[in-house]
Structure 1
Amino acid sequence: LGEPGPSDDELREFLEAAVTAPDHGAVRPWRFVVVRGGAREALGELFTKSLLKRKPDADEATIEKDRERMRQVPLLIVVAARINPNHPKVPPVEQIVGAGLAAQAILLAAQSKGYGGVMLTGDHAYDPNVKQGLGLEETDEIVAFTYIGTTENEPRPKKRPDPDKFTTEWNGSTG
């Protein structure tokens, strides 16, 4: 994914799509951190510092991979769930699912405008130093680093699994 990235108006459309995600109890658990411009390099450095705290012996190739990804992608939207563990009707898992659905809505909106996108997580998503550096709360759960930009190559077709392998039809019997 590379330049050009989405305009401010397109970014706004992506975020408007995100907040239409299904949301049990209108909890609105999603939080979005937009990273673009010079902030991309700063995030690459945050990733590096956090990685080296977790793995002081990390090899240079791993470190450079994070930096390079942040240099190339024009827009990153960090999607997090702000968890209310004591909500009387909406358990944390449903709050996380709501934020995940918001991330999917961002990707669909970006695709509708002709952009490519990918959702990644990895160790950075669970690192308290990354959360703090992004201004998130310790109890927030990062559900996606959503990278958006112009596809430089035609996407490789992915072999999708047969949905029948994951589907059963319940016939009403409890036994």
Structure 2
Amino acid sequence: MMSQSPVLDFLLTRRSRPAKLLSAPVPDRAALEVLLTAAARVPDHGKLEPWRFIVLEKPALMRIAAAVPARATERGMDAEQAAKGRSQFDDSPLAVAVIASPKGFERIPEIEQTLSAGAVCLSLVNAALAAGWGASWLTGWVAHDRAFAAAQLGLAPGEWVAGFVHIGSCANTPPDRPRPDIAAITTWVQE
């Protein structure tokens, strides 16, 4: 039997850090470029790169946060929904918007491109955690409101937010949450 690797140990114990617990300092541009490079090493059938990154530094996060209440009011949301949409930007010291940017390519279905964008989000979280940062992948109504996201992030037609990956320092590791019962969700097929 092979010994367990440090990478597998990491994956078996990894935990996202809530965005509200993240603070400065944050990775500098060179360190963040390493994390983005690691995140981009995901399955990408056809080498289409059906995603891109928008790095949101604190001033950009504050601009987006300030725009959230008016959009929430336009949508008829209550104060709690507006506050929740705003808080991920107010509380975060740095975020990377992972933008799904599907390419019209007949051989590679859009669902495969969507799954690749999701893989980028998780890979970015894992790269940040492995480098010693705190990180969390969030969406929420702000990510799913295409008109708002397009206005705030300059999205091209057909693009959408796969996630906001918040990255920063985190002194506290949150308690682990209950994990899936693998036996209950796994079917073994022998024939």
Equivalents in 2 of 1:159, 1:66: separation in Å?
26
Deviation at 1:91, TM superposition (A): 0.8
Q: How does 1:49-128 map to 2 (within 5 A)?
A: 49-55=70-76, 57-59=77-79, 61-84=80-103, 86-128=104-146
Query: Which residue does the alignment assign to 2:150?
Result: 132
- Correspondence for 1:41 among 62, 77, 80: 62
Query: Which residue does the alignment assign to 1:159?
Result: 178
Equivalents in 2 of 1:72, 1:150: separation in Å?
12
Deviation at 1:127, TM superposition (A): 0.8
- Correspondence for 1:17 among 16, 38, 47: 38
Equivalents in 1 of 2:157, 2:149: separation in Å?
7
Structure 2: give runs of 5+ residues left out of the alignment: 1-21
Q: What's the Cα RMSD here? A: 1.7
Judged with a 3 Å threshold, the aligned counterparts in structure 2 of structure 1 residues 12 and 36 are, in CA distance, closer, same or farther, namely: same
Report if aligned partners of 1:50, 1:127 keep a CA contact under 8 Å in 2: no
Report if aligned partners of 1:50, 1:124 keep a CA contact under 8 Å in 2: no
Letter in 1 for 2:90: R
Identity in percent: 30
Residues 72-115 of structure 1 deviation map (CA, whole Å, 9 limit, x = unaligned): 3111111121123x421111111011111111111111111211
Letter in 1 for 2:133: Y
Deviation at 1:67, TM superposition (A): 3.6
Structure 1: give runs of 5+ residues left out of the alignment: none
Report if aligned partners of 2:53, 2:99 keep a CA contact under 8 Å in 1: yes
| Count of residues paired in the alignment | 169
